[in-house]
Amino acid sequence: MASTKFILFIFAPQKATLLYFRFMKYSLIKSQKGEFIAYYVIIFVVTTFILILNSCTLDSEKLLSLGSKKTEIVNRDSTFSYLTDLYNNAPDSAIMVALELENQFLQERDNANLVRLYSFLSEIYQYRKNDDYKAMEYIIAAMDVVAANPELEFDKTYLYINVGNIMFRYGLFDEAIYVYRQIPNITDALHKPNVMALIYSNIALSFQSQGLCDSARLYFDYSARSIAETKLNRPMLTLQHYNYQSSLALSCENIDSIPFYFNKAMATIDFVDYIIKILPTEFSKRYQNDIHIDYHTNLVRAIDKMAEYYKIRKNPEKAIELYTQTIEEISDISECIWCPELYYNLVDAYFMASEPDKALEYLDSTELIINGDGINHNMMINICALKAEIFNEIGDLSQVAYYNEQMLIYRNSLETSGNSNELMLKKIELAVKPVQLAMKNIEISRSKNIQTIEMQKSLIQFLLIAFVFIAITLVVYYRLYSNLKKTRFQLAARTIEKIKPNIESESKNKLKDEVEQDLLAKFKLEVIDKKAFLETNISLISIAERLDTNRTYISKIINSVYGMNFNDYINKLRITEACNIICNNTNPNFTIDHLYCEVGFVGKSTFYTAFKKYTGVTPAVFFKMNNQAVV
């Protein structure tokens, strides 16, 4: 007992120790059930405390290291928060600041933040400047730093997501899916529902781009589940999800569901607007700034998909109305990379509505935007083809011939640039191989480390639990053994008392008729006092004949008085007799092998079933319990 107190003094705080001794006091009660409850509660309390103590242990050197770097991490985070603000509002300024930081990080050899910066530059060139080449260059630069410094410790989640996004943009869908699927295995993404929602959506988009609609739906469902677990960013993720579903409906020819997702998206927009209104001014401005790009991007996408739905349904007037609304919305976004596509869609709607002049006007605007940012050959081919079609409708054949010729020129230029694109694609494919190898090595190393740590923790926990378990078991066993004989005797007595029929109290208030009371008295005399229930062939009919009545009448009386049918009541009397025989025997060689015959049962199996039903234990357990109680 003293050693147990000493163990708890070391491993448990004061409150836990107090609880322990209270439970030990409780374990001294006479009830066997109470002993075992106290026993297991003690084990649970001590074991839980040890597990918590073990899981909360931190390496002291690591703790000091974290403390020394705390200020630096906060400063770096504030720098990247500033870059994020510029990303939303002034992408060119963000690039200039990032390039200055690049020189600083290179001089300081701050490789972790250098990788983070390259990942940011890749993202800004990809989504704000629409320059996939530069985006790819920076993501490869980031991976080169990681490969040269394998000891770097930082969250690589978004780095690998950007790697997958670059592959996706260049049509390397299988490679992108591989990278996306590996991310949860080598980072902490599984613990971040918003990140998992993004990963699942990207995998779904990769399948969608290959025409694999069922696989895309499956991963969009996974994404929806992750979104449901997010908190702060849930509205914007939900809005994005509805737009993805509309896009999937278009790709997989399920356009009737587009209005449903559009209405869901607009309801989410209304909800976001409501949040902005009810927030205090300071928080509202900050929130609007944080979601500015996502808000307008997803709003434009939602309206654009609905307009496309109306085009498919041959309702160009409604499509024009919605496309015009999208162009108004993008005026709030700097560096509009969607403008050419939106203008082109509006032109197509005007052409469908038989308004060629308006169509040509917007086509000229679209052409100016495209040529201002560098020629987009695919878009120019589409513009020339549409202009040729419009002039053909007007009847200006010379313009038709001119734009057909221009279309051929752009197509030839596209083939020429296609060769350079193929070279770039080969470069990306070569870059993918070391990325995949690095990710595989990280996954293997991470798995080994996790396995080693888990094995060590499990071993320590097992030894501690086993030690405490043995100590407590010895103490409780001693307490149980000291009261065992008395407890077992009391249990045997209570068991007999429990099943013993209290005939007098049962019959007092239940039978009002004197004839029925006389019949019950005869039944007691014949069946209980003369122990007719020990006869193996006793039945309701035979008892009715002895009492000179009918079996229905006697059955009704038994049900009224004892609350059970005739057979159950007879079995209860037999089990009571069996318990009395076991408790009152003085023969040391007595066994229960043939006891069932003595109390009127035909088979041993029926006897055992009835015995356990009325006593809660088997005859063997009851017999053993009684023998130990009287020793």
User: Measuring CA to CA, which residue among 150, 216, 220 is closest to residue 186?
Assistant: 150
Sign of CA dihedral 73, 74, 77, 83: negative
d(CA 250, CA 248): 5
**Tokens found for residue 375:** 């020629």
Is 16 in contact with 8 (CB distance < 8 Å)? yes
Polymer length of the chain? 631
Q: What is the DSSP code (8-state) at residue 526?
A: I
Mean of pLDDT values over 437-445: 60
Q: Write b or e for each residue in 336-364: b if 16 or more Cβ atoms lie within 10 A of its Cβ, otherwise e.
A: bbbbbbbbbbbbbbbbbeebbebbbebbe
Query: How much is the mean pLDDT over the chain?
Result: 75
Q: Of the given ranges (35-44, 215-224, 511-520), which has the lowest mean pLDDT?
A: 35-44
d(CA 35, CA 26): 8
For 146-201, the pLDDT digits (tens) are 878 877 777 778 888 888 888 888 788 888 898 899 888 877 888 889 899 999 99
For 541-563, the pLDDT digits (tens) are 888 888 888 888 888 888 888 88
Percent of the chain as helix, strand, coil, to the nearest 5: 85, 0, 15
d(CA 509, CA 365): 101
d(CA 601, CA 574): 8
For 67-104, the pLDDT digits (tens) are 444 444 445 667 887 888 788 777 888 888 988 898 88
User: Measuring CA to CA, which residue among 466, 490, 433 is closest to residue 626?
Assistant: 490
Q: What is the DSSP code (8-state) at residue 358?
A: H
Mean of pLDDT values over 17-38: 46
Domain boundaries, the chain: 2-58+455-483, 486-630
Mean of pLDDT values over 467-479: 74
* Greatest C-alpha distance within the chain: 126
Q: What is the DSSP code (8-state) at residue 256?
A: G
**Tokens found for residue 103:** 């020189």
What residues contact 621, with CB distance under 8 A and at least 6 apart?
none
User: Does the domain spanning 486-630 belong to CATH 3.30.70.870?
Assistant: no
d(CA 325, CA 66): 51
pLDDT of residue 500: 53
Our separate counts of H helices and E strands in the chain read: 28, 0
pLDDT of residue 4: 45
Say whether pLDDT at 396 is over 50: yes
Q: Band of the pLDDT at 21, cuts 50, 70, 90?
A: very low
User: Measuring CA to CA, which residue among 390, 366, 389 is closest to residue 378?
Assistant: 366
d(CA 521, CA 514): 10
- What amino acid is encoded at 151 in this protein? E
Give the range with max mean pLDDT: 176-190, 459-473, 584-598: 176-190
d(CA 391, CA 356): 8
Is 548 in contact with 526 (CB distance < 8 Å)? no
Q: Which residue is associated with the tokens 């390397």?
A: 172
Q: Band of the pLDDT at 58, cuts 50, 70, 90?
A: very low
